[in-house]
Amino acid sequence: MRFALTHTADLAGLTSLDAFSHVDEDTVFGALDEAGRMVSEVIAPTNRDGDTIGSTLVDGAVVTPDSFKKAYGELVAGGWAGVKFPAEWGGFGFPRVVGTALMEMITTANMAFSLCPMLTHSAVEALLAHGSDEHKAVYLEKLVTGEWAGTMHLTEAQAGSDVGALTSKAVPAGDGTWRVTGQKIFITFGDHDLTPNIIHFVLARTPDSPPGTKGISLFLVPKFLVDDDGTIGEPNDVTTVSTEHKLGIHGSPTCVMSFGDSGEGAVGYLVGEENGGMRAMFTMMNDARVAVGLQGLAISERSYQQAVTYAEERRQGRAVGADPTESSPIVDHPDVRRMLMTMKSTIEAMRALIYLNAASIDRAHSGSSDAEQARGSRLADLLTPISKGWGTDMGVELTSIGIQIHGGMGYVEETGSPQHFRDARIAPIYEGTNGIQAIDLVMRKLPMDGGDFVRGFIDELHDVARELDDQGMEEIGRPLAAGLVALREAVDWLLACDDVNDRLAAASPFLRMAGVVIGGALLGQQALAAAAAGDSAKVATARFFARQVVPTVGGLIPAVTAGAGDLFAIDPTDLGG
């Protein structure tokens, strides 16, 4: 994590910006060391409780495991909830990428638990960008510090991922407030007992609004109304109907929420402009998408740590050259070592990608020039769907490898390994399925600046490959260069393709290509720094990824350029047999 912050995110460059002039690297690493102790001692032990006890609905209210309450209390008491937010609202004012590193720790410790602060962070982003001064004064500091929690309410049963089909309503009450009615599903931490108040951010339609996404507005709907003196007042008309029984993340309550069951509607406050809800919600969604990509990284890291420990301790068979009278640790067998190196190298590539993404958002907001801010914004736009899509796909694949390393014991719940796989499986689905991320990448992000931005970024990564060659690390540089050529070929094909269905058919294999190649190039960049520092293990990790993972993207070129014909060659009625 330190290496990625230093050599990929350029933490020193970030802390030299005016916005972060009160922060230096020693302060950041000291804070993360302290956070690491708290997370490992307080939050990590709650992971098993979250899975076996879970969060349950009792008499209309969600009850979390007792260990969650203690851990959340310490998270708030230590000020960790507000690390990346402005000091004027109770935060530390650190760069966003430092908050990302902290969230990696929290999520690795307990993914289900981490969803509560994660969504609260997204609520803070929405208020900072779109909230009125009045609403900021009432709610913002409570959310920044984590004293209150926040949620996102998008999905409805009939709409699914088609947000424009939602039917929840909001009507003006004549006093500046609105009355919100409707029902939402799949609401993470929609209710819980970790905080005394929960601030819901709800998408709804106002009277006479246009159809589709252009007619959606965003409303702040507190679980409890807030009195003029800032204290918690009467309950709002918000009901928890039920909680879902899920494959994983059992400690995170996934709720069906209803507004306005008891009267005219729940009291809500418009956030941003009427019919501007999607713009405001995407502020939350983009923050959450990077955080969800981070979940793929974090849960893979936990699975890997456990797999390494097991492989070092478990003895079975005899490795080549081993004492014939003793069984060898399975870590000495080449196939087990391949699985471990696949996990290790991919995790480090994911971390580099996601940290660069977060640092790019920092520069988009706080860069020292218009040009730096513009580049940061475009790079963040490009990397966000890759971070979310590739990061969470890899989370599922790597936690599956973690089970495989355990052999038969990996399929036994008592080892804890299956939980990582089960927990990881939701991440490719929520905050916009990975298919939606891939479509966003090829339809919106690649065409930025007529395709010049993505082509220029690939050229920058080619410079890394050339420098690796110049420094005598051709075994890393050459496969990276080949991968970048393949990626450029795919980009050029997509940008030249006029058939929308063909581009959509290419989206998912292209996103995987982009994740692997960009992640590999960032590892190559780290290898240059590692070689200068004498860190042979990191160089070897980058070399493994470059030689054994990056070449797989060549096989994806035919899938990218095949078009949609084969996908629709069979009539839907014939798909079943």
Q: Which positions are annotated as active-site residues?
A: 431
CB 385 within 8 A of CB 438: yes
Task: State how far the Cα of 377 lies from the Cα of 249, in Å rounded to an integer.
Answer: 32
Cα–Cα distance measured from residue 7 to residue 27, given in angstroms and rounded to the nearest whole number:
17
Structure tokens at 23: 């922060």
Which pair of structure tokens corresponds to residue 220? Answer: 């702040």
State CA 290 to chain mean position distance.
4
How far apart are alpha carbons 276 and 378 in whole angstroms?
A: 22
What are the tokens at 464? 């890394």
As beta bridge partners, residue 475 has none
Rounded to the nearest 5°, which phi and psi values hold at 271? -105, 120
According to the 3-state scheme, what is the secondary structure of 75-115?
HHHCCHHHCCCCHHHCCCCCCHHHHHHHHHHHHHHCHHHHH
CB half-sphere exposure, 213, CA atoms < 13 A: 10
- Distance CA(167)–CA(159), nearest Å, equals 9
Residues 6+ apart with CB under 8 A from 64: 55, 192, 193, 194, 251, 253
Closest by Cα among 495, 494, 519, 484 to 357: 519
Report the C-alpha gap between 182 and 154 in whole angstroms: 11
For tokens 């002039």, name the residue.
21
**CA distances (Å), origin 488, targets 21, 188, 449, 455:** 38, 38, 16, 7
Q: How far apart are CA 466 and CA 461, in angstroms?
A: 9
> DSSP string covering 117-151, please?
HHHHHHHHHHHHHH--HHHIIIIIHHHHTTSSEEE
Nearest to 10 by CA among 94, 97, 101: 97
